[in-house]
Amino acid sequence: MNINSAVNLNHLYPPNAITKEKDVSATHTKTIDQHKAIDNHKGIPENYLTDKSSELVTMACNVDGLEVACLTIDAALELLSVRRQYGEFYERLKDLRPDIASTGFGFTLDENAKIKILDSTEKLSEADKSWLTEEINTFKDIRQHVRKHSEMLIQLVETDIHKFGGKYNLNAQNFQKTINYGEILNEKWGGRWVSIDDFITKQVIDNAKKRPTALLDTYA
């Protein structure tokens, strides 16, 4: 299946819903700061507890058998960062260039770790595509978040035998032919029993190059 082919994802939330999550998160953070978030039993600041919790999670992830689970969580968090920043970028794009925002473009990561615009509808001129490429690559930290998520996803395809069965070969060279972030983030998501990670997984299964022989299940 070609990643530029149409996919019906009618049960995803639109990008403007993405930005609302940031507002809620910012309000929550402000509330915590105002109340100085102190543990009433031990008098320990919450940021100290958070740091300690992070250390415990890191230690737990070093235990045999938990690497895949922890990598899955890290990848999901990184994808959430991509989703939030893309939501902000898309809202800005609608103000600056509504003609481009309405084209339904997608994006991925090329072999040079740069965001690449995908134009399956061929509605973008070369000049528009060049401008959009520059804008999205320089918007906040979205390029770094996409790069980190791609690296984690490549690792997961290699190590998560339960989900991918060791059947797929995903790497920096063929990533752009496999994953289209815009195909998901430009649409609604979050239908019953469906998550954004499920659609990423579906793209891997549908589009990734298959190995001649599946990897052995070393996690059994």
Residue 70 lies in a domain: yes
Can you give the residue range of the structural domain that contains 75?
Answer: 15-210
DSSP type of residue 45:
B
* Per-residue pLDDT, 180: 96
Query: Residues 192-216, buried b or exposed e (16+ Cβ, 10 A)?
Result: eeeebbebbbebbbebbeeeeeeee
Residue 68 lies in a domain: yes
The list of the chain residues with pLDDT below 50 reads 1-14, 17-22, 24-51, 53-54, 217-220
Residue 192 lies in a domain: yes
Q: What is the pLDDT of residues 156-167, one digit of tens each?
A: 999 999 999 999
* Per-residue pLDDT, 183: 87
Residue 151 lies in a domain: yes
Residue 90 lies in a domain: yes
Which H or E run includes 26?
A: helix 15-35
**Domain total for the chain?**
1
Its pTM surpasses 0.75: no
* Per-residue pLDDT, 39: 36
Closest CA to 84 of 145, 11, 7, 133: 145
